[in-house]
Structure 1
Amino acid sequence: MTQLITERSTDVIAAEINAIKFQTQTMMLQASAEIGKRLIEAKEQLPHGEWGKWLKENVEYSQSTANNLMQIHMEYSSNSQAFGSLSYSKAVALLGIDADDREVFIQENSVDEMSTRELKKVIKEKQKLEKQIAEQKADATKEKSLLEKNIQDLVQQLEDARVQSSESEDSKKEINRLTQELAVAESRAKKLEESLKAKPIEAATVEVIPESVQKELDQLRSKLNESTDPAEIKFKIRFESLINEFSSTLEALSEISNSDTNQKYKNAIHKLMDKMRATLDGEL
């Protein structure tokens, strides 16, 4: 009797391969977690300074590999179903994401469809953005504190000016000047408070001030913060407002998706800056 051989389709073969890959990855991650569990157990029993030697002589792991395996146990064992499809290399890369954000990050970034190299790049960019946001918040908090001190000083100066006020024109001008400076400082402090509470925007949508320019601005900020002269304090408030508006303008520009329109407005900003520079040089 002739046996009929049924030819299997490439779709069926691909499905079987992917199923085996999934099973292998799941088993690999589970096995890594189990090894990590036992490494933790062994490390707790060893005297201080013996860990590296024990790894080399008994299991032939480097300390970095052992650390990864122990972290995999600590980070993934409690929620193995959510991370079961990860490869070992991706699981290690994802240790760079905060545990509370990891599951959402995997879903939002389609990690299953990425290569390990692509995943590492995305994680590196995320870490860089988070560092920038943390630094910006720290700067904003410091600036807000300085502004609040300036506001207190301005309020005291205003109260003193009103107490000592005469009907002279100079006294009225001084009170008006202090009132205006106080309003500007309070407005800036309010904007900083809002920026500290606001949700951080994504890195891909943000245009940033060039590093060389930012460094120069930071140096000037530092010098201005040391000043107690009313005229310099007034300039500082105006200067900070100018920087803030420039940053806001760049953010608004980054939201314009049409490349031609975006470039048109970039050119307009360049022209305005050239004109401002020429005016400033002319005055100086």
Structure 2
Amino acid sequence: MFDGDAGNDFSVKVSTVDGFQGGEEDVIIISTVRYNNMGSVGFISNCQRTNVAVTRARYCLWIVGNGETLMNSGSVWERLVLDAKARGCYHNANENERLSRAITTSMIELDQVVHLLNMNSPLFRKARWKVYFNPGFLDSMAKIKSTDACKKICFLLAQLSSGWRYPHQEINLGVEDNTCSQLWKVYKVTELLCLAWTIDILEENSNYVPVLKIWDVLPFSELWKVKRDIDISYRNNSNDILRSLEFRCSDGNFEVPVMWPASSNYTTNNNLPQPDPMQLLCNQFAMLSLMDV
């Protein structure tokens, strides 16, 4: 058990549920610890322990846990969740800006960045774009020891997935006019590191869907490795495919993905987004839709 300074008006105690037997506190925060699809909540499925847990707060009780797991527990915790929802006391951390950012920051500080790099994490709660990670990026992230650098990279990824873009390219890439120079973007993250990414296209539910592909985060001097990989990856694509990768659609100040129906003949011009906005409006309006990711 940890106690705060008894001489102060404010103190914090950390203990197990059993440790609170017979005691009370003004505010209690309970962690139900686990998340799973089976509804298993472990020792707190015991009614006596649950009674202790929820009756020891004088003024305020916060329960932190996974609502789905608690609902599936087949125990009193299911009724507690339903009661909290009915009284407007149920809060989804991913829908709260401050809670979501606090969770993200804590996971980075606890060296759990890998668990943030998926579309279900709080990092991408405002994502309009699906994000895919090249293995090289994941390898590079694992080697970064600076917590501050990891935070900057993660929050830049969140911004990119929301559709935010730099108004102007700020880095002189110094590459010739080839496939790579047309498709890749390089954003400076720290004094030493740059993030390289492109837009790619996936076929999903009979539609072609633009996605963000994060290639790597490297020092500027090593970006040639990403350039090489991008050139190899896209060199066999037709001009029509490359043109579709360069297509942009905006919603205010944000760039949004546009999907269009898949066709057996991918390279038919009529099936690709048109760069001319008026032509897009006239010829493609019926086929195109803004993705609601």
TM-score by length of 1: 0.26
Larger Rg: 1
Q: Which has the higher strand share?
A: 2
